[in-house]
A and B are shown apart, each in its own frame.
Chain A
Amino acid sequence: MTADKRQLVWDWPVRLVHWSMAILVLLLWWTAEEGIMDWHKRLGLTMLGLLVFRLVWGIAGSWTARFAPMIKGLAKLPAYFAALLKGGHKPSFGHNPMGVLSVFALLTLLGLQVGSGLFAVDVDGLESGPLSTFVSFGTGRDFADYHEFNFDILAVFIGLHILAILSYQFLIKDRLIGPMITGKRPAQDFGETPLPTMAVRPAALFAALLIAIGGVYLVANAG
């Protein structure tokens, strides 16, 4: 174990966004249940910012953050799955093909959740998302109904995500949780193949932050 080389697999923005989203989903659920709508809307807008950042980072971030390689990785899903069943699992650098499914499902559902919240109108007309001024009362109510329904789907997929991670951790013995915290894995997990560089480019980071913060600002002040 000692003196093992450790390879960076997740850059710090990916990790920070990941855990912030996890905490925010819990807080958003709790504030909604308790009717603390001021905070629900503030945290919801924060979630919007994280999502926008993550989408930009999926284009401009370090290699394992990017969507294009993930989509390519999907082609290997059948072979990957077959190997997994035969017990011949090999760790992937970045998302494994199953993980890619989870990334796209969760980001899509989060996008729908945030998007519908922005237009949602409460039955008393008291609480409403910042973009609800663009829709009628009836349409805003439909968004609110969808917002509620979509949350259940989101919760199920978050459950599947966690279940999958736990199965890898304990059944397949591919430890994925630690690297999402520290960012690193033993380099020997990936053999000798040269890996893409994992540089976080300051200009890309700056652009992603700018787009995320600017986007949230525009949405918050649109009404």
Chain B
Amino acid sequence: MKMRKIACLTPAVAGLMLLTACGQGGGDAGDEASGASGENATAALPNGMTVQEQIEARQKKLENIGGAFKTISDQLKSDSPDVAAIQTAAATVPAEATGMADWFPEGTGPDSGVETEALAIIWQEKEDFLSKISDMQNAAATLNTTAQGGDVAAIGEAFKATGGTCKACHDKFRLDD
């Protein structure tokens, strides 16, 4: 990712060559997806879901977490934050994140044929991945308790701390977009 950007900007700066190569390298957002039609997609997992169902279900949960996170972020930016809205959203995060350790069974990685930003390294470094999940769940629980207390400054701190645990995992285990 970084290399691609550098490779893209260097010619812009130097004004030389590589322009078309750069254009072709642009927009990798969907490169990893080879369509959801592969036979892997419909293979059944031990938990009864198909691979595709599992991946889509976790993405939906993560979307909800992201949405709740944005609600909190928006309110914290405001001059008069709506504490009730923050409290509802803060309660959503740990609720949605329950059982996250089970969302990534073997076979739901980049080879599954389903569009996913989960990287193969998740299954190579399972220990670390699981510990990052519990870091986030703990931080989210603290955020929720803090939010119910209603002190906006403290909520801001807990929010940043939780956000840091999302980022720590994404930086390593999620395809950078």
Q: Which residues of A contact B (CB under 8 A)?
A: 26, 29, 33, 121, 123-126, 128, 132-133, 136-138, 140-141, 144-145, 148-149, 152-153, 155-156, 158-163, 165-166, 223
Cβ B74 vs Cβ A159 within 8 A: no
Looking at the assembled complex, report how far the CB atom of B4 sits from the nearest CB atom of chain A, in whole angstroms.
Answer: 9
Residues of A within 8 A of B16 (CB): 159, 163
The 9 closest A-B pairs by CB, nearest first: A162-B15, A125-B69, A152-B26, A126-B163, A124-B166, A159-B12, A137-B67, A137-B70, A158-B12
Q: Which residues of B contact A (CB under 8 A)?
A: 2, 5, 8-9, 11-16, 18-19, 22-23, 25-27, 29, 63, 66-67, 69-70, 72-74, 77-78, 160, 163, 166-167, 170, 174, 177
Residues of A within 8 A of B170 (CB): 123-124
Residues of A within 8 A of B72 (CB): 125
Closest to B171 in A: A35
A162 to B16, CA, bound (A): 8
Q: How many A-B residue pairs have CB under 8 A?
A: 99
Give 7 A-B pairs besides A138-B63, A145-B177 with Cβ atoms closer than 8 angstroms.
A124-B163, A149-B27, A152-B27, A155-B9, A159-B12, A163-B16, A166-B15
Cβ-defined partner of A121 (8 Å) among B26, B70, B163 = B70
Contacts A124-B166, A156-B23 hold; do A163 and B15 have CB atoms under 8 A apart?
A: yes
A125 to B74, CA, bound (A): 9
Cβ B63 vs Cβ A123 within 8 A: no
Closest to A124 in B: B166
Closest to B167 in A: A124
Cβ B167 vs Cβ A152 within 8 A: no
A136 to B170, CA, bound (A): 21
Residues of A within 8 A of B26 (CB): 149, 152-153, 156
A148 to B27, CA, bound (A): 8
Cβ-defined partner of B9 (8 Å) among A29, A165, A223 = A29
10 A-B pairs with CB atoms under 8 Å apart are A125-B69, A125-B72, A125-B73, A125-B166, A128-B70, A149-B26, A149-B29, A155-B9, A163-B15, A163-B16
